[in-house]
Amino acid sequence: MKVLLVTGGAGFIGSNFIRYFLRRNKSFILINLDKLTYAGNLENLKEVENSPRYHFVKGDICNHELVSYIFKKYKPDYVINFAAESHVDRSLEDPSTFTQSNVLGTLTLLENARNAWNRSDRNVCRFLQISTDEVYGSLENNTDYFMENSQILPSSPYSASKAAADLMARAYHVTHGLPVIIIRCCNNYGPYQNTEKFIPKCITCLLQDRKVPVYGNGSNIREWIHVLDHSIAVIKALFYGKPGEIYNIGSGEEISNIDMVKRIVRILGKPEDLIQFTQDRPGHDRRYALNCYKARSNLNWSCRYTLDDGLKETIQWYRSNLNWWKTE
């Protein structure tokens, strides 16, 4: 049995990933290390909690002794670091928590992998750092795309902390030969996403006939990917990615925030006057868009969901799971 250590597995992407991964990879034991911040919810993992191949450890990735104990006890062959403070708005008010978890937490994991994996382990072991398109900063036109070697120019304390973690991960590869792979994905949507995030906020406000807040005039453009398409990319990068490489993961489905809200309004059959424009967020990036040729050709990965299908399915999930988000 191979052992996979996942961090932040009780959050949105991590929990979708774990359920998907355990269903399809029967020869793996999976350890989920999660601090259970406000964003972590073990309800997301009910489906796997009794599996003999799943172990949950409550704890902080910044806790060197705990991480070292996990490496000694479980001897992971693979690490996927999803754990992070992930909400940009919160990072404006509380940047130090973001720096702590996203930068120092990643460093703690890298350092423990370095201590645990010897030279021959490094041919088979992998450390996958889950990054974001936000590290590239903002595109000021509608025609350019970020490549993996585009400049890193983060705009928010969140994206700056993720960029710092990427650079630390890269440094561990270059300096210590640690088999690190970085993937940078666009905005995710799907079931089990915290209602503080844009799409679930729109859906759950509208389901309750409440006003939906939209920053500025809603013209900011985002690229949206279904969380399962991201999860498949994570698996492909883990097994087929090349250490030291970065892979952009995007869907090509770009849409402005206002058009996204209007689409959800239409699907739910609600009136457009529930949309309420609010003061823009400082440093709000105008557009993100990724060139994903490398992942498509080198990892043989592509998206299965269209935005239309994924959105309808996600809306249906929030409609059917009131208990999950109303108690959040």
Ligand X SMILES: NC(=O)c1ccc[n+]([C@@H]2O[C@H](COP(=O)([O-])OP(=O)(O)OC[C@H]3O[C@@H](n4cnc5c(N)ncnc54)[C@H](O)[C@@H]3O)[C@@H](O)[C@H]2O)c1
Binding-site residue total for ligand X (CB under 6 A)? 30
Distance of CA 253 to the CA centre of its chain: 17
Piece of the chain touching ligand X by CB under 6 A; list 5-13, 88-96, 135-143, 302-310: 5-13
Q: Which residue from 6, 7, 199, 237 is in contact with ligand X, where contact means CB under 6 A?
A: 7
Q: How far apart are CA 255 and CA 186, in angstroms?
A: 12
- Smallest distance, ligand X to C-beta of residue 225, A: 8
Q: How far apart are CA 308 and CA 277, in angstroms?
A: 24
158 is catalytic: yes
Site for ligand X in 14-53 (CB under 6 A): 14, 34-37, 39-40
Contact 205, 276 (CB under 8 A): no
Residue closer to ligand X, measured from CB, 270 or 284: 284
Residue 279 carries which DSSP code?
P
Residue closer to ligand X, measured from CB, 125 or 227: 227
Residue 174 buriedness (CB in 10 A; 0-12 / 13-18 / 19+): exposed
Contact 242, 179 (CB under 8 A): no
Q: Which residue from 12, 98, 288, 301 is in contact with ligand X, where contact means CB under 6 A?
A: 12
- Smallest distance, ligand X to C-beta of residue 268, A: 22
Q: Which residue type does 158 have?
A: Y
Distance of CA 13 to the CA centre of its chain: 5
Q: Which of 136, 158, 288, 318 is catalytic?
A: 158
Q: Which of 60, 133, 166, 253 is catalytic?
A: 133
Q: Which residue from 6, 84, 205, 292 is in contact with ligand X, where contact means CB under 6 A?
A: 84
Burial 295-320 (b: 16+ CB within 10 A, else e): bbeebebebebebeebbeebbebbee
Contact 35, 14 (CB under 8 A): no
Q: Which residue type does 318 have?
A: Y
Residue closer to ligand X, measured from CB, 122 or 224: 224
Q: Does 56 bind ligand X (CB under 6 A)?
A: no
Q: Which residue from 4, 5, 6, 10 is in contact with ligand X, where contact means CB under 6 A?
A: 10
Q: Which residue type does 123 have?
A: N
Piece of the chain touching ligand X by CB under 6 A; list 55-63, 67-75, 149-157, 318-326: 55-63
134 is catalytic: yes
Contact 247, 237 (CB under 8 A): yes
Q: How far apart are CA 223 and CA 289, in angstroms?
A: 6
Site for ligand X in 152-181 (CB under 6 A): 162
- Smallest distance, ligand X to C-beta of residue 269, A: 27
Catalytic residues: 133-134, 158
Chain contacts with ligand X (rule: CB under 6 A): 7-8, 10-14, 34-37, 39-40, 60-62, 82-86, 101, 105, 130, 132, 162, 185, 187-188, 194
